[in-house]
Structure 1
Amino acid sequence: MITTGVSTDLYAEVLQFYARQMQALDGGDFQAYADSFTDDGEFIHSPGLPPARTRAGIAAELTEFHRRRFSGTPVQRRHWFNHVVLDHRLDGGIDSTSYALVLTVHPGEKQPEIGPSCVVRDVLVRVDGDLRLASRRVDHDQER
């Protein structure tokens, strides 16, 4: 196995970035989630759906996705990222590959709905010193 290694400070920064980003998504703050992308960012999240592009496009796509999928059904979703691998890119960005598991909890039910299980491939860049996603591609395991 070949490792390129990143500093522990960078690794911790990326994990903090993901924690804030997923808490925004799970809290229904789709604009805050979209703001974690670059202005021209690209987000591919579900099989069969075209990529969402730009912050405004990403926020609109997430709003519509949740309206279609969960309209009239109150749920709490939790996105869990783990096994995060970071590699430096030649262009100065960071490639990130992680596993994600999504839990959906319905009020009053004891057992969450588990899935999908995914591999998330991100390209992170710095914009004015802050991390932003240039792109995110979510590949669902059941589609492989």
Structure 2
Amino acid sequence: MTQAPHKPEETEVSAALFAEIQQFYGRHMRAMDEGRVAEWTGDFLADAVFATNARPEPQRGRAEIARNARAAARQLQEDGVLRRHCVGTLELRRAKDATLVAKTYALITRTVVGGRSELEFVCTCEDVLVRQDGRWFIRHRQVHRDDLPRD
């Protein structure tokens, strides 16, 4: 049986844009992991949506996302836990409306200070990114933890 050649539907992006988005994610994830919640949430549009199968309802708006992120960061600090988001396998495509769709895998580690590091979650992530005022923002984030039902 002969296989049909793969014809991606997405529009390819330049190597420079790919590198720019990798830099965006490096800075974005490091901000959260280092407790700089305001910087991390500043990467979301004011009306952004953050949906995950770990919560029954999506978080709507930067203010709600920030409230939840601050609470999570505070709890981690109180528990003496360092969390790291290791994001990779970036797949990037341009959508017809000039947004970018970024798909990644995220390995999230948990380290209790003085203890061993362990893998806490494995996730797939899909972000819709928009460029405004010369920088990238997240319009919509969908995270699926592998250990939870996808519904």
TM-score where L is the length of structure 2: 0.86
State the 1:46 CA deviation: 5.3
State the 1:33 CA deviation: 0.7
Match of 1:94 among 84, 96, 100: 100
In the alignment, structure 1 segments of 5+ residues that lack a partner are: none
2:34 equivalent to 1:27: yes
Equivalent pairs counted in the alignment come to: 142
In the alignment, structure 2 segments of 5+ residues that lack a partner are: 1-5
State the 1:60 CA deviation: 0.4
Q: 1:17 to 1:35 in 2, by over 3 A?
A: same
Match of 1:12 among 13, 19, 27: 19
Match of 2:109 among 103, 108, 111: 103
Return the letter of the residue paired with 1:96.
A
State the 1:47 CA deviation: 1.0
Report if aligned partners of 2:53, 2:148 keep a CA contact under 8 Å in 1: no
Match of 1:56 among 36, 54, 63: 63
Q: 1:49 to 1:26 in 2, by over 3 A?
A: farther
Bigger radius of gyration among the two: 2
State the 1:6 CA deviation: 0.8
**Percent identical:** 32
Q: Please, what is the CA RMSD of the aligned residues? A: 1.6
Map residues 55-134 of structure 1 onto 2, 5 A cutoff.
55-67=62-74, 70=76, 72-109=78-115, 111-134=116-139
Counterparts of 1:71 and 1:20 in 2: how far apart (Å)? 20
State the 1:49 CA deviation: 4.2
